């Protein structure tokens, strides 16, 4: 029996990186996967085909998680197509890194909207179907930066810390209805983004991690599968750090 057999999952921001890794792992574990993207239309269409090859139902939606109305429409469309939603993974996120001295109001707002308001938008929309079926697992992608801060990322760190407060509050509000809400705090995860960086800089980062390597999308996806599955049935309101020991 696969860990997510027959479950219906919605994953935001799955065209690339960690979200894509989660979508593939979920499909491999038997989940039917609805996912979103914003600008990577071709990558979204390719992923839909890759996921279908696992013999599950998959569909990509172009939808801006930062937009309240669009998120409501997205959830309505997913329910029309799939019947319900058992698992929500709020993964979509962006960075607009710069020192506070240089940070514009726009850079602050863009990050807060894409990273934090998005989590409110989509969680609020899935609340109703999850309450109706009296079960659900919501998984929010935070970051170690939301716990320890990072120079040049005050907007990003604030959004990721906000996700943790939101996660714990939702867990308290919805626990009695058998709806769980947890966060994952990835550390340094090597994606397409980090592949473009100077190898020496990346090597320095790897050496600072107790496990002496950067994490992979698969490392984060494995923790996400656990939180989505019945293996974590008694776990809610928690933050799991997937950081190779960085935060120890």
User: Which residues would be at the binding site for ligand NAP (CB under 6 A)?
Assistant: 12-19, 36-40, 64-66, 91-94, 114, 118, 141, 143, 186, 188-189, 191, 193
Task: Tell me the closest approach of the beta carbon of residue 111 to ligand NAP, in angstroms.
Answer: 9
Task: Tell me the closest approach of the beta carbon of residue 136 to ligand NAP, in angstroms.
Answer: 20
User: Rounded to 5 degrees, what are φ and ψ at 101?
Assistant: -55, -35
172: Cβ contacts below 8 Å, ≥ 6 apart: 237
Catalytic residue list? 156
User: Over the range 187-223, which residues count as b (16 or more CB within 10 Å of their CB) and which as e?
Assistant: bbbbbeeeeeeeeeebeebeeebeeeebbebebbbeb
Q: CB–CB of 107/155 below 8 Å?
A: yes
Task: Tell me the closest approach of the beta carbon of residue 182 to ligand NAP, in angstroms.
Answer: 15
CA–CA separation, 47 and 191 (whole Å): 16
Token pair in block for residue 227? 């939180």
Token pair in block for residue 233? 């049935």
Q: CB–CB of 244/209 below 8 Å?
A: yes
In the complex with ligand NAP, the residue whose CB is nearer, 17 or 129, is 17
Helix axes 68-82, 118-133, angle to 10 degrees: 40
In the complex with ligand NAP, the residue whose CB is nearer, 52 or 67, is 67
48: Cβ contacts below 8 Å, ≥ 6 apart: 58, 59, 60
């Amino acid at each position: 029996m696969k860990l997510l057999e027959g479950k219906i999952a919605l994953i935001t921001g799955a065209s690339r990186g960690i979200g894509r890794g989660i979508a593939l792992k979920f499909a491999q574990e038997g989940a039917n996967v609805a996912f979103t993207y914003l600008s990577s239309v071709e990558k979204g269409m390719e992923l839909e085909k890759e996921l279908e090859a696992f013999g599950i139902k998959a569909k990509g939606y172009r939808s801006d998680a930062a937009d309240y109305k669009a998120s409501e429409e997205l959830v309505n469309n997913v329910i029309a197509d799939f019947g319900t939603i058992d698992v929500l993974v709020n993964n979509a996120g962006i960075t607009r890194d710069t020192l506070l001295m240089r940070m514009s109001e726009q850079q602050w707002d863009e990050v807060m909207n894409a990273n934090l308001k998005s989590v409110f938008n989509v969680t609020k929309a899935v609340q109703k179907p999850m309450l109706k079926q009296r079960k659900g697992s919501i998984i929010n992608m935070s970051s170690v930066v939301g716990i320890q801060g990072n120079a040049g990322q005050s907007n990003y760190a604030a959004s990721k810390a906000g996700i943790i407060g939101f996660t714990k509050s939702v867990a308290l509000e919805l626990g009695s209805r058998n709806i769980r809400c947890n966060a994952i705090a990835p550390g340094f995860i090597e994606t397409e983004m980090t592949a473009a960086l100077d190898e020496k800089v990346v090597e320095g980062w790897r050496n600072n991690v107790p496990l002496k390597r950067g994490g992979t999308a698969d490392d984060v996806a494995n923790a996400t599968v656990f939180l989505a599955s019945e293996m974590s049935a008694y776990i809610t309101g928690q933050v799991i750090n997937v950081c190779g020991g960085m935060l120890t």
